[in-house]
Structure 1
Amino acid sequence: MKPSSRYALAGLALIAGTVASPCLPVIGAATPAMAASAPAADAPLTLKILKVEGNNAITTADIMAALPYHVGDTVTREQLDAGVQKVADLYKAKNLGAKFSEKERFVKNTVQFYLVIEEQAPSAAPAPAPFVLDKVEFVGNKQVPTAELEAATKLHPGATVTAEAATADTVAIQKVYQKHNLGVQIQPVATQPNHDNHVVLTYQITEK
């Protein structure tokens, strides 16, 4: 007689934790250029000043290394904007949130460029406390001794309880019944009698 098993991990659904999504960079609108009239977006300009402000999580040296231009280079306003995106990508790669704004000052055919960074504090929630097993119970097993089921399973008092571990033990119980050529239906249920992170794991067994 082949065993059948039905997994109802309703109690163990409490074990699932939450993972906060990382705060991704947001590029803010550039501030108006500090000049009466800004040059065309593709007009060549000599980069006279390049400064970064507001960064703490990432060093200025790393940000400068990410920028594709340096003081003395010939750049366009389009290239300056593209460089800001490179810095945004750097923050994103490090799972850091930030907003970016630009301040530009044009003097004849030169540009003074200031990148202002507003870093966002991480919002990750603290990890939930692990669930600790206080007791394992086997209910409904009449043809297979409890001692044999305890020997076949790995979750014991004091262990950390996960849905995966309970499922593995459920399969182990199923194999014991298969060895005895007995059919079985198994329903593991985790409860929290004291409403804390300690659980009692009960295997409700229906023999066939």
Structure 2
Amino acid sequence: MARFPFFSRRLMTVALAVGCLSGSVVTETVLTRAHAAAAAPAADTPLTLKVLKVSGNQQISTDAIMAALPYHVGDTVTRNQLDAGIQQVMALYKDKNVGAKFGERERFVGKTIQLYVTIQEMAPNAAPAAAALVVDQINFVGNSKVPTPELQAATKLRPGSPISTEAVTADETAMQAVYKKHNIGSQIQPVATQPNHDNHVVLTYQITETAPKNND
């Protein structure tokens, strides 16, 4: 009489939600299983592991996964021990902050077992983008030789504009050009503060005007 191999399928999912809370990383692990209930060998029946294959992994190497498993082809194992090994692989994924779905297919032939593990890795969770900084107010302090309206006319940042280092530097350069046109030396120090501790900024240009150097 011909003997047909028996297949059993199981699904295990590791869903890793990684966030930042009080400066620490929080990882949540969720496990779900669906076991075939047919006449597979008992969970504690000794079987010879004939085949062990892993597929679908990309972010974690096959060598690293195999190193996490406490058994190898040729070992005598039970289904319980196979489950424990997969748990260790799931722990590896958890340590690496990589979410994954694990699919197991077991094939039984006589006193042997073949284990095929498929892994569907989830895309890494992107950190939320920081809110863009917005200028609420622009102040000019220390200018007496060049009036504020002239400096305002030379700059581009306005209340309500998004602010960046490049934009502030460009406006600082424009103001220095105004002072140069008037043959007045200047030192300009931009200072940005966030009074409400949100993404709204008060920008103050602290200006030190100096007399022009005499050409000998």
TM-score w.r.t. length of structure 1 = 0.53
Q: Which has the higher contact order (CA 8 A, sep 6+)?
A: 1
Aligned sequence identity (%): 58
Where structure 1 has 5 or more consecutive residues not aligned to the other structure, the ranges are 1-17, 139-155, 163-188, 203-208
- 2:122 alignment counterpart: 120
- Aligned 1:91-102 pairs, distance under 5 A: 91-102=93-104
Whole-angstrom CA distance in 2 between matches of 1:23 and 1:122: 13
Which has the higher Rg, Structure 1 or Structure 2?
2
- 1:59 alignment counterpart: 61
Match of 1:41 among 35, 43, 50: 43
Give the conservation status (yes or no) of the 8 Å contact 1:42–1:78.
yes
Q: How far 1:19 moved relative to its partner?
A: 4.3
Whole-angstrom CA distance in 1 between matches of 2:43 and 2:197: 65
Q: Which deviates more from structure 2 when the two are superposed, residues 48-57 or residues 127-136? A: 127-136
Give the conservation status (yes or no) of the 8 Å contact 1:25–1:99.
no
The verdict on how the C-alpha distance between 1:158 and 1:198 changes in structure 2, with shifts beyond 3 A counting, is farther
Q: How far 1:92 moved relative to its partner?
A: 0.4
TM-score w.r.t. length of structure 2 = 0.51
Whole-angstrom CA distance in 2 between matches of 1:115 and 1:62: 14
More strand by share: 2
Q: How far 1:127 moved relative to its partner?
A: 3.6
Whole-angstrom CA distance in 1 between matches of 2:47 and 2:60: 28
- 1:29 alignment counterpart: 33
Where structure 2 has 5 or more consecutive residues not aligned to the other structure, the ranges are 1-18, 142-188, 205-216
Whole-angstrom CA distance in 2 between matches of 1:24 and 1:119: 16
Whole-angstrom CA distance in 1 between matches of 2:98 and 2:82: 22
Give the conservation status (yes or no) of the 8 Å contact 2:190–2:203.
no
The verdict on how the C-alpha distance between 1:117 and 1:81 changes in structure 2, with shifts beyond 3 A counting, is same
- 2:112 alignment counterpart: 110
- Aligned 1:1-208 pairs, distance under 5 A: 19=20, 24=28, 26-30=30-34, 32=36, 37-128=39-130, 131=133, 157=190, 189-190=195-196, 199-200=201-202
Q: How far 1:117 moved relative to its partner?
A: 1.1
Name the amino acid aligned to 2:111: N
The verdict on how the C-alpha distance between 1:201 and 1:106 changes in structure 2, with shifts beyond 3 A counting, is same
Q: Give secondary structure in 2 for the equivalent of 1:157.
A: strand
Q: How far 1:100 moved relative to its partner?
A: 1.3
Name the amino acid aligned to 1:128: A
The alignment of Structure 1 onto Structure 2 pairs a total of residues equal to: 135
The verdict on how the C-alpha distance between 1:117 and 1:191 changes in structure 2, with shifts beyond 3 A counting, is closer
Whole-angstrom CA distance in 1 between matches of 2:68 and 2:101: 16
Give the conservation status (yes or no) of the 8 Å contact 1:26–1:99.
no
Whole-angstrom CA distance in 2 between matches of 1:42 and 1:80: 10
Name the amino acid aligned to 1:115: V
